[in-house]
Amino acid sequence: MTAPLMPKATAVWLVDNTALTFDQIAAFCGLHPLEVKGIADGDVAMGIKGQDPVTAGQITRDEIKRGEEDTSYELKILESKHDLPEPKKGRKGPRYTPLSRRQERPDAIAWLVRYHPELTDGQIGKLVGTTKPTIQSIRDRSHWNMSNINPVDPVTLGLSTQIELDAAVQKAGRRLEREAKKAGKSVEDLGKLAPATQALADAAAGITPDGDGDFGQVLDPSGSDSQDAPDARDGNRPDVDSVFSSLGGSTVAPEEEDDTPPQG
């Protein structure tokens, strides 16, 4: 049932001017019965002035009288005689993230990139409210604050709900199945999917998808680390003896000591 335009103000007026029960007022105004009881006790809506629903054209006095005579009667609101315009839908785009949460978005992106690599950049952007360049900079480890980024579940951070995360993972799974069927391969060949609940349990246990605890190794698709690569020039590095031998065998003669006593 449609609620009045100002439900709390209407409830204040009905409590003060009628003999309706709390349940009847709560059902008519779209409130909880305990909230209506709090209004009657003066604990709720203390500064709100009551609004007469009869004057506002939301209910008739005969309807109120029927409700007072029968406590089980459910009040019915009058339909508006005016066609109100439908509310405009908001502009599609990344969800709004409060300022206090924005510094936590890179951590959430890193978690999604690590534990759900099947998600596209567009899906990650919708989940945590970020842009594709930011996601790509975390994927290739070129983010300006990469050394301080720690993967954290976006549900724990409050950037998305578990239902939204599960829906995104399931949608990505269906996309992989279509791609695998089109390519004539299995889903395991394209990438193994893990449910969001399983990924959350693995994160709590410190288990990464490839069994490696290094965050950089997970984000790097090639799996190589340039820091661990041996230097090919080490085998050809010259030593001191080879340098002097290349000078034609010449050596520097030591300076002869002067035994002549100094002249006084």
Instruction: Annotate 221-250 with DSSP letters as a single string.
Output: TT---GGGSPPGGGGG---HHHHHHTTTS-
Phi, psi of 8 (to 5 degrees): -70, -40
Domain boundary among 153, 176, 205: 205
59 shares a domain with 17: yes
**Domain interval for residue 175:** 99-205
- What is the tally of structural domains in the chain? 2
Phi/psi zone of residue 153: left (φ > 0), alpha (ψ -120 to 50 degrees), beta?
Answer: beta
192 shares a domain with 142: yes
Mind listing the pLDDT tens digit of every residue in the chain (264 residues)? 577 888 899 999 999 999 999 999 999 998 889 989 989 998 887 888 899 999 888 899 999 999 999 989 999 888 766 666 665 665 555 667 777 788 899 999 999 999 999 999 999 999 998 899 999 999 999 999 999 999 999 988 888 888 889 999 999 989 988 888 888 776 666 554 544 445 555 555 554 444 343 444 444 434 444 444 444 444 455 565 665 555 554 444 444 444 445 554
23 shares a domain with 109: no
* 8 A C-beta contact, residue 117 and residue 173: no
Q: What's the rounded Cα separation, in Å, for the pair 231 and 235?
A: 8
60 shares a domain with 15: yes
Q: What's the rounded Cα separation, in Å, for the pair 75 and 216?
A: 63
pLDDT score at 210: 45
pTM of the model: 0.43
103 shares a domain with 64: no
The reply to whether 210 falls in a domain is no
129 shares a domain with 187: yes
142 shares a domain with 57: no
* 8 A C-beta contact, residue 145 and residue 109: no
